[in-house]
């Protein structure tokens, strides 16, 4: 079946405006009679809930955290992109659109990405109006920095805590609507299934995580905004609670899952320190503006560092390999994340890693500190400043830009990153794949929408840094509130959706049966035992580099782990009270199915693109030797999988990607 993306006709520059001019609207008096459920209250869900309520709809918002302020969007550090050209360096809507499609290795839908670039400027205005304290330059204008994969500075930021500040802005907009009674907030509730009536999404089954009570909630439309599935790897930069359950449940009810193998490995994370670790910590990509990435040139130096016989500061400049600057001169340390991650892995695999496990490279700020110090000495009219003075002046500037990130690193690693280069290593971070949606952000189920990281729509095979916050807020503030009205205009006479129907009965029974199974199963192994096992298979065989043999093994091994899980999992406690192990069991059960579909998708895609690197598909000679080799003839499509029971039986549907405004060509950052 060819999927209908519902992309409007006409030139790309006017598609969105013309489309909005012609879609159906719901009059303000009728919005009062329409209910919308929003699951997830991060930047996408929070902004959508606030905007829909502001428009007059009745919104029910669900968060599994104790407050929307704890949504994982809070962890985004580096910034948010927008094409405002404040730096006068040639940025434009088209250039942001081009960089995003190219950065995603030409595997995203042009129309959605252009719309994203088009509304990006509005997001900044909205957030400034909400009081988000973006960094400003000396003249008081909003400041920008650069991120990987681009040649301009378009990233707006609030120190190293941009996600947190944007979330507080969005949370205040939500609170205004909660106070007015337009948003009914359900904290500590987890959605465990979607309810379909006559083929339309009409409600959800949720569990109150404090009392264990199972609840029915109805609405005229349901919006899923529950983030990505990076925790399928067990170790990732995601919060430990981040999960794929809501997305997986709607997949099982008919929403197609697109491109699950497109996940992002972030190059700048604090390396893992042992098997006992439960998550990894991200160091913002913004650090690559000023940090230079290197390993020793000589293998004997690397070995000495691994054995702690040598310090990085003792290695002479000429004995350092700044490998990103060497391999990608045009972009240097600011190549996109997938390129930087693979380059770091290649050096570490070759034996040049710099920590005890050999899985780390250096991120060094010495030259930035010196550069800023010399500039400051001139600004302050200090003639012949000493080395120490230059260092102090430079450190103050770096501290002003990245202080909280350096502090965080020092707390975790117990080393001063101003004096000793940071150690970093790639880690699972963001997922570009997700639920398939059309131009309206609607899934393959009527009335069921999916926004933010939970959908697949904007980043192709690799997300550029600082684009996640942009997509989440674009979907929530400026896209969904228009497109959902077109669908809901048919519901103005429907009236309240009752919850005492066979469809709700059936969905609730399924949820309760599964919970009863977990509580009553007399297994011997903890949920984490299975999650770690899954994570190891995913990282080893479906990680940064993949091959046919490994992927086939992964599918078989994951199926085996899943079968063992259902036989031997032990969940302590009871169902009708707070029970984090029970929550975890349901989420890991879903990861054990998603992981197999992920490997199946990676096996089907016999090309390398973005975050999906197939060892069989690399350039063998010429200037691009060793780089990813895309196959546009056979794979320029979105892979959307339909659920058929076992993950191995999922049916593939293709949405062919058209490139009318951007030329398909080899992605080069050299």
**Per-residue confidence (pLDDT) for residue 103, from 0 to 100:** 94
- Residue from 46, 36, 50 nearest 70 by CA: 46
The 3-class secondary structure across 538-596, one letter per residue, is: HHHHCCCCECHHHHHHHHHHHHHHHHHHHHHECCCCCCCCCCHHHHHHHHHHHHHHHHH
- Residue from 177, 276, 294 nearest 234 by CA: 276
Q: Are the C-beta atoms of 82 and 156 separated by less than 8 Å?
A: yes
**Per-residue confidence (pLDDT) for residue 273, from 0 to 100:** 84
- The stretch 483-512 carries a mean pLDDT of 98
CA distance 459 to 471: 9
- The stretch 369-390 carries a mean pLDDT of 97
- The tokens for 582 are 């029970």
Q: In 3-state terms, what secondary structure has residue 299?
A: helix
The contacts of residue 376 (CB under 8 Å, 6+ apart) are: 393, 394, 396, 397
The contacts of residue 165 (CB under 8 Å, 6+ apart) are: 132, 133, 134, 158
**Per-residue confidence (pLDDT) for residue 180, from 0 to 100:** 98
Average pLDDT of the chain, as a whole number: 96
- The stretch 36-60 carries a mean pLDDT of 98
Beta strands, E only, 354-511: 361-364, 422-431, 434-435, 448-450
- The tokens for 190 are 């987890």
**Per-residue confidence (pLDDT) for residue 603, from 0 to 100:** 98
- Residue from 478, 475, 473 nearest 163 by CA: 473
**Per-residue confidence (pLDDT) for residue 666, from 0 to 100:** 86
DSSP-assigned states of every residue in 72-137 = GGGG--S-EE----TT-SS--HHHHHHHHHHHTTT-S-HHHHHHHHHHHHHHHHHHHHTT----B-
**Per-residue confidence (pLDDT) for residue 1, from 0 to 100:** 61
Tens-place pLDDT, residues 318-365: 999 999 999 999 999 999 999 999 999 999 999 999 999 999 999 999
**Per-residue confidence (pLDDT) for residue 419, from 0 to 100:** 95
Tens-place pLDDT, residues 402-458: 989 999 999 999 999 999 999 999 999 999 999 999 999 999 999 999 999 999 989
The helix or strand, by DSSP H or E, that contains position 473, with its residue range, turns out to be helix 468-473
- Residue from 49, 44, 100 nearest 72 by CA: 44
**Per-residue confidence (pLDDT) for residue 116, from 0 to 100:** 98
**Per-residue confidence (pLDDT) for residue 99, from 0 to 100:** 96
CA distance 296 to 315: 8
When pLDDT is cut at 50, 70 and 90, the band that residue 668 belongs to is confident
Beta strands, E only, 408-551: 422-431, 434-435, 448-450
**Per-residue confidence (pLDDT) for residue 246, from 0 to 100:** 98
β-pair partners for 293: 363
When pLDDT is cut at 50, 70 and 90, the band that residue 276 belongs to is confident
**Per-residue confidence (pLDDT) for residue 48, from 0 to 100:** 98
Tens-place pLDDT, residues 557-602: 999 999 999 999 999 999 999 999 999 999 999 999 999 999 999 9
The contacts of residue 576 (CB under 8 Å, 6+ apart) are: 211, 212, 213
Catalytic residue IDs: 337
Q: Any idea what DSSP says for residue 69?
A: G
- The structure tokens 């899952």 sit at 257
Write the Ramachandran bin of 342: left for phi over 0, alpha for psi from -120 to 50, otherwise beta. alpha
Q: Any idea what DSSP says for residue 314?
A: G
* pLDDT above 90: percentage of residues in the chain: 95
The 3-class secondary structure across 285-297, one letter per residue, is: HHHHHCCEEEEEC
- The stretch 480-491 carries a mean pLDDT of 98
- The stretch 287-300 carries a mean pLDDT of 97
Residue 497: pLDDT over 80: yes
Tens-place pLDDT, residues 445-475: 999 999 999 999 899 999 999 999 999 999 9
Tens-place pLDDT, residues 616-654: 999 988 888 888 999 999 999 999 999 999 999 999 999
Tens-place pLDDT, residues 94-127: 999 999 999 999 999 999 999 999 999 999 999 9
**Per-residue confidence (pLDDT) for residue 667, from 0 to 100:** 86
**Per-residue confidence (pLDDT) for residue 179, from 0 to 100:** 98
Sheet of 214-218, strands arranged across: 189-197, 200-208, 214-218
The contacts of residue 428 (CB under 8 Å, 6+ apart) are: 230, 233, 235, 236, 237, 238, 263, 264, 265, 266, 280, 539
């Amino acid at each position: 079946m060819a999927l209908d993306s519902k992309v409007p006709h006409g030139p790309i520059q006017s598609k969105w405006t013309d489309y909005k001019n012609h879609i159906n609207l719901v009059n303000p008096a009728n919005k009062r009679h329409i209910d919308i459920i929003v699951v997830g209250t991060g930047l996408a869900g929070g902004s959508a809930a606030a905007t829909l309520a502001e428009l007059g709809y009745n919104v029910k918002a669900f968060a599994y955290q104790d407050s929307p302020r704890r949504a994982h969007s809070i962890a985004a550090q580096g910034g948010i992109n927008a094409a405002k050209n404040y730096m006068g360096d040639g940025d434009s809507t088209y250039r942001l659109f081009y960089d995003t499609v190219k950065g995603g290795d030409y595997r995203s839908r042009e129309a959605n990405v252009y719309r994203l670039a088009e509304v990006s400027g509005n997001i900044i205005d909205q957030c400034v109006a909400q009081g988000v304290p973006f960094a400003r330059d000396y003249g008081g204008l909003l400041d920008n920095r650069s991120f990987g994969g681009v040649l301009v500075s378009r990233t707006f930021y609030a120190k190293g805590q941009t996600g947190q500040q944007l979330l507080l802005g969005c949370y205040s907009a939500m609170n205004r609507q909660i106070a007015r009674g337009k948003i009914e907030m359900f904290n500590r509730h987890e959605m465990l299934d979607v309810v379909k009536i006559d083929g339309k999404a009409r409600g959800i089954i949720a569990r109150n995580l404090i009392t264990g009570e199972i609840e029915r909630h109805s609405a005229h439309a349901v919006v899923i905004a529950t983030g990505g599935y990076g925790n399928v790897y067990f170790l990732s930069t995601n919060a430990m609670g981040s999960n794929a359950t809501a997305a997986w449940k709607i997949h099982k009810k008919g929403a197609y899952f697109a491109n699950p193998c497109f996940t992002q490995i972030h190059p700048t994370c604090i390396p893992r320190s042992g098997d006992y670790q439960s998550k990894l910590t991200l160091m913002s990509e913004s650090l690559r503006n000023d940090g230079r990435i290197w390993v020793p040139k000589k293998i004997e130096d690397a070995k000495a560092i691994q054995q702690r016989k040598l310090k990085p500061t003792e290695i002479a400049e000429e004995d350092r390999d700044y490998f990103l600057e060497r391999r990608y001169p045009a972009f240097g340390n600011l190549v996109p994340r997938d390129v930087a991650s693979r380059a770091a892995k290649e050096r570490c695999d070759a034996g040049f890693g710099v920590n005890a496990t050999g899985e780390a490279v250096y991120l060094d700020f010495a030259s930035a500190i010196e550069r800023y110090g010399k500039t400051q000495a001139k600004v302050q009219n200090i003639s012949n400043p000493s080395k120490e003075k230059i260092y102090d002046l430079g450190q103050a500037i770096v501290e002003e830009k990245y202080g909280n990130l350096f502090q965080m690193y020092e707390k975790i690693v117990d080393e001063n990153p101003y004096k000793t280069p940071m150690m970093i290593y790639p880690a699972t971070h963001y997922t570009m794949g997700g639920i398939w949606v059309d131009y309206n952000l609607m899934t393959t189920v009527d009335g069921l929408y999916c926004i933010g990281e939970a959908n697949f729509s904007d980043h192709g095979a690799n997300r550029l840094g600082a684009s996640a916050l942009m997509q989440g807020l674009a979907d929530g503030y400026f896209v969904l509130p228009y497109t959902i009205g077109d669908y809901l205009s048919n519901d103005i006479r429907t009236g309240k959706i009752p919850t005492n129907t066979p469809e709700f009965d059936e969905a609730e029974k399924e949820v309760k049966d599964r919970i009863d199974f977990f509580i009553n199963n007399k297994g011997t192994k903890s949920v984490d035992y299975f999650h770690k096992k899954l994570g190891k298979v995913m990282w080893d065989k479906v990680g940064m580099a993949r091959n046919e043999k490994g992927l086939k093994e992964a599918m078989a091994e994951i199926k085996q782990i899943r079968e063992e899980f259902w036989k031997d999992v032990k969940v302590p406690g009871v169902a009708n009270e707070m029970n984090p192990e029970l929550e975890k069991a349901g989420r890991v059960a879903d990861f054990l199915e998603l992981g197999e579909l992920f490997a199946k998708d990676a096996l089907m895609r016999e090309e390398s693109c973005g975050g999906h690197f197939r060892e069989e598909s690399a350039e063998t000679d010429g200037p691009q030797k060793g780089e990813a080799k895309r196959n546009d003839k056979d794979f320029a499509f979105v892979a959307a999988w339909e659920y058929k029971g076992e993950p191995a039986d999922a049916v593939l549907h293709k949405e062919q990607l058209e490139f009318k405004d951007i030329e398909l060509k080899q992605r080069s950052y050299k």
